[in-house]
Amino acid sequence: MRLMYINYFQCAISLNLVDIHEFFYTPRKKKKQKNKEIYMGNFINNAPFALVIVLLIIGFVLLIKGADFFVEGSSSVAKRLHVPSIIIGLTIVAMGTSLPETAVSVSASITGNNELAVSNVVGSNIFNLMVVIGVCAMIATVNVAKETIKRDIPFSLICAGLLLILGILGVGDKSGMMLGHFDGVIFIGAFAGYIFYMIKIALKASKEGKKVEIEGGSDEDIKLISVPLSILFIVGGAAAIAVGGDITVDAASRIASDLGMSQTLIGLTIVSIGTSLPELVTSIVAARKNEVDMALGNAIGSNVFNILMVLGIASAISPISIITENIIDLCVLIVFTICVWIFAGTRKKIGRIEGFSMVVLCLLYTSPSPRDTR
């Protein structure tokens, strides 16, 4: 029964993300869809630069609020179906934090903006790990759980290594430097296994009477709303995610073109920061209340979701080309993760000095350099 719940919600969310574009952006006649996409792209390309900035912000708002509404509606439906709150927290709520990145990467891969599709994910992971955790540590010491050191960080390194290997080898494709459909299936399969394993561990700990802390995984966190409102939240949230993803990609591409910067840098900085901003704000609020014990574990979990779920869905829909800059950024992510692993493993906590150094390292790497201009 539990496996049925898990498979149901994984399939539901994956299909929603895969079909969002087709449902809201693909009218029955494909010619109309193409004309609408061309119209939106042409509008943004010909708009004043200030308006493009405004559209980018609107895109971020649609992505973030759309994800919130989608998660709230889906969680309410799941609660009505008597799905255990732990499963809801580990599936719908956890996946919801990666919906904005998913929409951007899927839209970018479909429109051929491959640099943006990959750099958005890698940039978001670097921001979550180095800036979100670094800022939290500067405000209040971040205690690190034993499971995070022994299980979560090593697995996130394995995921990053898998992306690096598949990106270079191009498993299932005719040439390397490509994430193809088969690679996407591998990622999604690994993601399903990861979710199942985490739920199994959480349910076992709960039965043993141990305290299980999962974001959005308690009955108090899950609001029960009416069925019509739940459907409205799911459909409206999905629509907002789809529209926000397209606007964000088109606006980011235009900004990169106007500023003479590569899409890789735009994805690594502006887009990734925009989609990760809610996590930063939430973490700062928690740090001020000295409630940051779950911060590193949540950031690592989000990074795993971004690689396995986001790039898995995006490459399964449309193959993504990998460029040299993506490989470099991925190697840097691995190095940064190892640094955080060392910080966390030495004293089982991350303090102000480590947090400050993490933020500085991130700023130094993501600052514009000659390689990022065209």
180-227 pLDDT per residue, tens: 888 999 999 999 999 999 888 888 877 877 766 666 555 566 778 898
Q: Does the pLDDT at position 166 exceed 80? A: yes
Average pLDDT rounded to a whole number, residues 147-153: 89
Q: Give the domain range for residue 88.
A: 2-372
* Confidence grade of residue 289 (pLDDT, cut at 50, 70, 90): confident
- Closest of 148, 140, 187 to residue 320, by C-alpha: 187
* pLDDT recorded at residue 234: 92
Which of the two residues, 41 and 320, has the higher pLDDT score?
A: 320
Q: How large a percentage of the chain has pLDDT more than 90?
A: 33
Q: What is the mean pLDDT of residues 137-144?
A: 88
Would you state the pLDDT for residue 1? 46
The average pLDDT across 120-133 equals: 92
Q: Residue 19 has what pLDDT?
A: 47
Confidence of residue 174 (pLDDT cuts 50, 70, 90): low
Beta pairing, strands 349-350 & 142-143: antiparallel
Characterize 162-196 residue by residue with b for buried, 16 or more Cβ atoms within 10 angstroms of its Cβ, and e for exposed. bbbebbeebebbeeebbbbebbbebbbebbbebbb
- pLDDT value at position 172? 59
Q: What is the pLDDT of residue 239?
A: 92
pLDDT, average across residues 25-37: 45
Q: Is the pLDDT of residue 23 over 50?
A: no
Residue 229 confidence (pLDDT):
93
Task: Give the pLDDT score at 95.
Answer: 80
Q: Supply the pLDDT for residue 213.
A: 63
Average pLDDT over every residue of 290-303: 79
Residues 166 and 177: their CA atoms lie apart, in Å, by: 8
The domain that holds 249 is classified in CATH as 1.20.1420.30
pLDDT in tens, 44-71: 888 899 999 999 999 999 999 999 899 8
Antiparallel, parallel or unpaired: β 320-321 and 142-143: unpaired
Domains identified in the chain, total number: 1
pTM (two decimals): 0.81
Distance CA 18, CA 315 (A): 11
